[in-house]
Amino acid sequence: MLCLSRYVCEPLNRFFRQKSWWTTLGCVCSLLGACRAQATLPEEIALQALQAWNRGTVKQAVQRLKVAFAQNPGDPELLDIYGAMVLCANRFEEAKALFGAALQKDPQDPVALYGSGLLHLARGESARALQDFSLAEAAGGDRTVLETAKLYAQWPKDTSRQPAMPTEEEQNAILAMKGMADYRLGAVKEAQAELKALMKRLPEQGLVNPPAPLMTFHPNHPLNGEVELPIAFHTPAMQNEKGVRGVVTLRPEVVAPNVAYVGYDIDGKPLALVGDPPYSFSWDTRTVPNGLHRVALSLYDANSNLLDRGERIVHVINGFSCHTGPAQERLRAAFWGTFGLQPDASACAEALGMLAQSAGERAEARLWFTWAAATQPSAGIRAKLAAYEALDPKVPICWAVQTSQKVIALTFDDGPKPGVTEALLDTLKRLGVKATFFVIGQHVMQYPDLTRQIAKAGMELANHSFTHPNLKTLSPQAIAQQLMATQAAVEWATGQVPRFLRPPGGDENEKVEKIAHAWGLTLCMWTIDAYDAELVGSMEAAEHVARAVRPGAIVLMHNGKMSTVQALPSLVRTLQRRGYTFVTLSQLLQMGRSQTTPIHLQRGE
């Protein structure tokens, strides 16, 4: 009877020890089921991470990348992807370590060379950046992305050249370079035309920057990123991991006399059957992707009876250039499509604001500075805005108004929503009622004409965030971006400048209140919430509000349900018979002192 540890495992252990090829990762044994026998390859998981990244779900992207790292520790392509992600979060030292680790594995890794060039660019080292971009192109990197990067490394010296067949993203980058170069040269008309054309081409017309390296066109910090990453995870790249690379020889060190054949399997797939002593096999590890693989040896007698079998997990760590196959090609294409240089919309909007200011166009200048604040709500942009409007509301938060006058404010959250909003406006017009609409910025950009109808009907427009998140869970920067993107959208569509913010779901705290106040917004909550009654039906909604109303009340309803529209005639006529008048929020706050603490009315009361 053969001793398994002696004839199979021990020789392999000795072999890997001698060659220093056994990985030091402590999780290897737990990853026996995570090798190439699994249905989802690490490359496919990494592709899912990039797809999540492009959707803006950064947390999910990082989680998927962690899964890929667990299956394929230290893989240069994964190092490159995570390096680009942390670079987009302005964590340049982490990015440097990750790209450096990838280049140690393969000095010709085009993605890592590109990343190295971006880091040099971030430090203002244009010549070094240009050199790295050229090396990346020579190593097979995406020519269009790298030509654009080389152009920016030389900006503003030469803006006449452009890639032969630029994608839409590269066209945006080139248009931005031309516009910002003309802005610096004082070519006002040319700069305005180019930058305005650019803003129309950008996603959400530049109210949201992509999760990519951003060209700021600033001499001291030419590169920026706005992504907020979770706390860094400890990648295998940060360890001095060991593994196998290139061609390695596998063989059992001791073979019993009755052994006639030795079979070799990789990840459960037969690789070779050797019948001649010393039963060795040369395995080219470049034929498999980097990562963890199961190597098995099977010993047979002359009658093909299995005598013994042993297996081991090995870590393949070849360089970037050794990766081949459809999965790798899809992943590389996704990388270049994700992390090419993009114009910083804030920088371009700020330039347009300065050009308008120089021309004495105050309203246009204020709009462009608001636009700039949507992606980069910095102190500098705030100071520029403060020159045009007071950003210090006297009332930080309002739940109702203390007044003896029979006045109330109807407010409608969400929307604009085609079909419902028109019906709501028609009903309010027929009843002779003015109200306040808390709109979602993204919907405003999608339906600007419908938003203009709200304004033309004499209604007040207010801020309900850009994408309707829970503001309490966001960082201060992200909160300000949500608010200012909606401010810009409403002002662009209607000319109105919202003065009130209602946090989605009413989720507010001191942080939200402080940021809203800093940008000139008063938090407006409510006295009566009709949401639950709206869900039941129009009669219930009308009765609920009429029962709870009081002078100075703020009524929360929704711009999205036909039951709300149907409830209005009964509600308005009932309250008008009681002597109530309907006003906008701005009008209401002029009629008494604001109630800054909640009115304790529960839903359904």
Catalytic residue IDs: 413, 558
Kind of pairing, strands 223-224 and 400-402?
Answer: unpaired
Q: Which residue in the block uniquely carries the two structure tokens 């052994």? A: 259
473 SS3 class: helix
Cis omega (within 30 of 0) on the bond before 469?
no
User: Bridge partners of 283?
Assistant: 248
Of 489, 596, 604, 589, nearest to 545 (Cα)? Answer: 604
Contact 554, 438 (CB under 8 A): no
Structure tokens at 451: 């938003």
596 SS3 class: coil
What's phi and psi for 202, nearest 5 deg? Answer: -75, 155
Q: CB 420: neighbour CB atoms within 10 A?
A: 19
One-letter amino acid at 15 equals F
User: Bridge partners of 250?
Assistant: 281
Contacts of 434 (CB under 8 A, 6+ apart): 428, 458, 459, 460, 582, 583, 584, 587
Distance CA 233, CA 62 (A): 9
Distance CA 233, CA 63 (A): 10
Q: Which residue in the block uniquely carries the two structure tokens 């008008």? A: 576
Contact 172, 164 (CB under 8 A): no
H or E element at residue 168: helix 168-185
Kind of pairing, strands 281-284 and 247-250?
Answer: antiparallel
Contacts of 577 (CB under 8 A, 6+ apart): none
Distance CA 445, CA 489 (A): 6
Q: Which residue in the block uniquely carries the two structure tokens 């028609």? A: 426
Q: Which residue in the block uniquely carries the two structure tokens 């005598």? A: 307
What's phi and psi for 93, nearest 5 deg? Answer: -65, -40
Of 14, 1, 9, 35, nearest to 309 (Cα)? Answer: 9
One-letter amino acid at 79 equals L
Q: 9 vs 96, 291, 298, 370, 575, CA distance in Å?
A: 39, 21, 11, 67, 87
Q: How many Cα atoms sit within 13 Å of 167 on the Cβ side?
A: 16
Contacts of 120 (CB under 8 A, 6+ apart): 126, 128, 129, 132
Query: Hey, which bits of 338-406 come out as E strands?
Result: 342-343, 397-398, 400-402
Q: How many Cα atoms sit within 13 Å of 206 on the Cβ side?
A: 31
H or E element at residue 461: strand 460-463
Contact 581, 406 (CB under 8 A): yes
Distance CA 425, CA 432 (A): 10
